[in-house]
Chain A
């Protein structure tokens, strides 16, 4: 496989990898680096790629593992810069963000979820993957995926309702 063939192969899902990386790492730059790293890894596997029945599924799994590793090593090596530092107890801040940009604020709620739930929300609600695919990528069974997804969605709803009723009660 030459470079242009490879680019054609990855083009349909490279954005998906990037979005998943960004969901986990939050920072755009880090997500770009991670995506780049994964694509290089895929390129190096070049000859063996035909052996996999879905390159995309493998790439998503690789991205997930890579990002989780990144997060782990970051936590081990230095003080974590808290991305999930937005407490729900601060309605004035929430209110401001809601007024400014309610979509940004949904993003913040999602990024507060545990990593596993973030992956599942990303794959299901944003990328619209089937449960069987998600189960394979996350190495869980489908029921567990459903339960986790439901939990994540309910958590998001809870935060949203809290904010929505702010100022009324």
Chain B
């Protein structure tokens, strides 16, 4: 009977005495459909060995270490931040100059008009803000009703 032979092989296997050919024989036997019922319990073990060998490294191989990549990334990030800060301060200095030139009127009448226009714009914006507040009031009234009653 085949399973007698397999039992002997299994015994050898657990002692670490089997050769690779014998181990392959075991793997083949346990992946076949006619495994003796009392040996059934070893099926998953050999099944796993066969299956585990099929796992593949699927990532693309890159030739730069991740650590080095990170180093380059941080260098790049530092440069970007430096440029950002640089341009920001540079533009700010320019803005101040421009403001000085734009903010003045020679004619007092024109200046009054401009001021009024600006104030009107401001109050308009404040009003839209207040309109928004009305909703909150309604909400609060409803809330009071619910919680007091």
Contacts and interface: CB of A to CB of B under 8 A. Distances in A.
Interface of A: 3, 7, 10, 14-15, 17-19, 22, 32-33, 35-37, 39-41, 43, 102-103, 105-107, 110, 124-128, 130, 146-147, 149-150, 153-154, 156-157, 160-161, 164
A146 B19 CA distance: 11
Nearest to B20: A128
Nearest to A156: B45
A125 B49 contact: yes
A166 to B, nearest CB: 11
B110 to A, nearest CB: 69
A35 B52 contact: no
Contact of B57 (A7, A17, A43, A150): A17
A36 B16 contact: no
Contact of A36 (B14, B56, B66): B66
Contacts, number: 84
Contacts of A128: 20, 23-24
9 contacts: A14-B57, A35-B57, A102-B43, A103-B44, A103-B48, A103-B51, A146-B17, A156-B45, A160-B44
Contacts of A110: 48
A147 B16 CA distance: 7
A41 to B, nearest CB: 8
| Contact residues of A: prevailing secondary structure | helix
Given A33-B66, A125-B23, A164 B41 contact: yes
Interface in B57-111: 57, 59, 61-67
B57 to A, nearest CB: 4
Contact of A126 (B41, B49, B57, B63): B49
A105 to B, nearest CB: 7
Contact of B56 (A18, A40, A130, A161): A18
Given A130-B20, A146-B17, A150-B14, A10 B61 contact: yes
B143 interface: no
A103 B55 CA distance: 14
B13 to A, nearest CB: 7
Given A147-B16, A153-B13, A153-B16, A126 B52 contact: yes
